[in-house]
Structure 1
Amino acid sequence: MATHAARRQSLVAQNMANADTPGYVPRDLPKFQDVVSTSSAANSMRRSRAGHFEATAPADNFRTLSEPNQTSPNGNAVSLEEEMMKAVNIKLQNDRALAIYKSSLNVLRASLGRV
């Protein structure tokens, strides 16, 4: 979830940086829930690095979406307001992922007796 948030934040930052570029079409990733739920191997194990166990599913099934809503006279379709709203939602997703990570570390520490 944190990796997805980081990649999505990178795309939103690129969109905002190109807000004045003529003909630029904003890009985005699908929501994390959509990526996980539509994954053919959502319930099976997947590897995250090439050196890990063998798996048939690729580690990344992210795809870039183009969402041209309305364009300005120069053909740019970036809406700074929409990109800022996306950035806020991405921060919340990242915070949630970090909270889950910290909670799992606390469970591991407690099981080892190192609270």
Structure 2
Amino acid sequence: MFEKLQIFRMAHAMAQHAGARQSVLARNMANADTPGYAARDVAPFAETYRNDAGFAPRTTRPGHMSESAGGHAVEIRDASRGQTDPNGNSVSLETEMLKAVDTKRQHDRALAIYKSSLTVLRAATGRR
């Protein structure tokens, strides 16, 4: 009965998504001065979770599936939405830092959902 609780799967998927997005954002910040580098991002969690296709493949070794982050689809953002540097770089450190804070909040939210669900499950089984 309790083997496949959807709330735990969703919290796990949300935490995985936050980790993958944080990795992509860190790569963007590291390449902020690289000429011609296009900023990348991971598809939003709601879209990825709804399709359930973003969690299927896994990276098995460094360099394997280099355009993905832990199995999540990485997309190149359109440079016309933001400004680009004269060298063709589309990374804005301020924007990336704000996205990193949002991603940390997403990860914290996933942990809170997991802990709260575990507390409810313990109460339902009579354990405290």
Indicate the structure with greater strand content.
Answer: 2
CA distance in 1, matches of 2:104, 2:74: 19
What is the aligned partner in structure 2 of residue 71 from structure 1?
A: 84
CA contact (8 A) 2:38 2:76 kept: yes
Runs of 4+ in 1 over 6 A off after TM superposition: 46-49
Residues 31-68 of structure 1 show CA distances to partners (whole Å, capped at 9, x for unaligned) of 1012223x178xxxx9899xxxxxxxxxx873111112
Specify whether residues 47 and 24 from structure 1 end up closer, same or farther in structure 2 by C-alpha distance, changes over 3 A only: closer
Identity over aligned residues, as a percent?
A: 57
Q: Which runs of 5+ in 1 are unaligned?
A: 50-59
Supply the AA of the counterpart residue of 1:106. Answer: T
- Other-structure match for 2:20: 7
SS at match of 1:64: strand
Counterpart residue number, 1:18: 31
SS at match of 1:7: helix
Q: TM-score, normalised by structure 2?
A: 0.68
Aligned partner of 2:106 in structure 1 is 93
Q: Deviations over 1:49-98 (max 9, x none)?
A: 9xxxxxxxxxx873111112321011111001110111111111111100
Q: Would you say the 8 A contact 2:20–2:72 is kept in 1?
A: no
Normalising by structure 1, what TM-score?
0.75
Q: CA RMSD in A?
A: 2.5
What amino acid does structure 2 have at the position aligned with 1:99?
A: A
